[in-house]
Amino acid sequence: MLAKKLNLKFYDSEIITLIAKETGYSEEYVSRNENRLDNALLYQMIMQDYAVPLDKSLSKQDALYVASAKVIRKLASESPCVIVGRGADDILKDNPLCIKIRLFASFESKLDRCLNSYHLTKEKALKAMNLFDKRRAEHYAHYANADINDIHRYDLVLDSGAIGLEECCDLICALFKNRSSNVNSAAQSNQKL
């Protein structure tokens, strides 16, 4: 919705294909494992020799993260875009054009969205929600070294369950247009100097 309103490229599951190309892993493997950390794989990089291929120097999860970060930085450098999740807010934290947004909703709102959007039974929806939230929080904590729910990490935090997706989209659009205008004005001022 946001990408359409702003006429920007949108990246979510498309990133899986790009990560697969970067790592040589199958798209199915990337999709299953990109936000997953197995306890046995929670360790630091084995080697710092960046000339060594990713699959020889890192755990598979670390290699997926490095490839994901590389893909996200490349996409963000090519043109303004909307990137969903994958710790993009942390990966792009030094990019002055990056707007870091956190959407959240109450448990009831999330459950209702899961039931209506994915047509799952309540039991399956609850299990999927808990597993997804747990894996995402662990992944973020490991790679960003931070709590995904820390509101201070974001430029804007919105309760999509309370105010709705349309209004969230409108607020984000306003922030994007304001930020873009300020960046363009600053760039023009610097050119005059």
Tens-digit pLDDT profile for residues 87-133: 999 999 998 889 999 999 999 999 998 898 888 899 999 998 999 89
CA dihedral 48, 135, 170, 5 (to 10 degrees): 70
Output the pLDDT for position 122: 92
Across the range 163-177, mean pLDDT stands at 95
Across the range 24-33, mean pLDDT stands at 86
Widest CA span in the chain? 62
Cα distances from 153 to residues 11, 34, 73, 90, 186, in angstroms, run 21, 22, 18, 8, 24
Distance CA(37)–CA(155), nearest Å, equals 27
Output the pLDDT for position 59: 76
pTM: 0.76
Cα distances from 52 to residues 49, 55, 68, 72, 162, in angstroms, run 6, 8, 18, 21, 48
Neighbour tally for 100: CB within 10 Å: 15
> Do residues 104 and 160 lie in contact, with contact meaning Cβ atoms separated by under 8 Å?
yes
CA dihedral 105, 108, 111, 112 (to 10 degrees): -100
Output the pLDDT for position 187: 57
The 10s digit of each residue's pLDDT in 112-125 is 988 988 888 999 99
Output the pLDDT for position 78: 92
Output the pLDDT for position 45: 34
Output the pLDDT for position 76: 93
